[in-house]
Amino acid sequence: MKRQLVIDDRRNVALVYRPETAQALSLAKTLTKWLKERDYKVFTAPEQKIIAGTTALKRRSELAKMSLLVVLGGDGTYLRATRLLDGKSIPILGVNLGSLGFLTPFRADELFTAVEHTLENKMEIRPRAMIQYQLLRKGKIRSEGLALNDVVIERGSLSQLINIAIRCDRKLVSEVKADGIIIASPTGSTAYNLAAGGPILHNEVKAFVVTSIAPHSLTTRPFIFPDESKLSFKFVGRAYDKNDSAHLVVDGIKVDKLINDDEIVLKKSESDHWMVRDANQNSFMILREKLKFGDR
Residue 238: predicted pLDDT = 58
Q: pLDDT > 90: what percent of the chain?
A: 74
Instruction: Tell me how far apart the alpha carbons of residues 70 and 291 are, in angstroms, rounded to a whole number.
Output: 24
- Give the CATH number, domain containing residue 20: 3.40.50.10330
Tell me the CB-side half-sphere exposure of residue 150, using CA atoms within 13 A: 27
133 pLDDT above the threshold of 50: yes
Q: Are 277 and 247 contained in the same domain? A: no
242 versus 286: the higher-pLDDT residue is 286
The reply to whether 296 falls in a domain is no
In a domain, 252, yes or no: yes
Statement to judge: residues 184 and 78 lie in one domain: no
Q: Provide the domain count of the chain.
A: 2
Whole-prediction pTM value?
Answer: 0.91
Indicate whether 73 and 35 sit together in one domain. Answer: yes
Clarify whether residues 116 and 64 are in a common domain.
yes
Q: For 272-291, how does the pLDDT look when each residue is reduced to its tens digit (9 = 90+)?
A: 999 998 888 777 777 777 77
CB neighbours of 50 closer than 8 A, spacing ≥ 6? Answer: 44, 56
CATH of the domain at 212: 2.60.200.30
Shared domain for 42 and 89, answered yes or no, is yes
Residues 12 and 94 in one domain: yes
Annotated catalytic residue, options 8, 75, 86, 150: 75
| Mean of pLDDT values over 149-160 | 87
Range of the structural domain that residue 220 is part of: 131-268
DSSP classification of residue 226: E
Helix, strand or coil for residue 269?
Answer: coil
For residue 15, the model assigns a pLDDT of: 98
User: What's the rounded Cα separation, in Å, for the pair 181 and 130?
Assistant: 18
- Residue 75 appears among annotated catalytic residues: yes
Whether residues 151 and 247 share a domain: the answer is yes
Per DSSP, 31 falls in state: H
Find the length of the chain.
Answer: 296
Q: What is the pLDDT of residue 240?
A: 45
**What DSSP line would sit under 212-235, residue for residue?**
EES-S-SS---EEEETTS-EEEEE
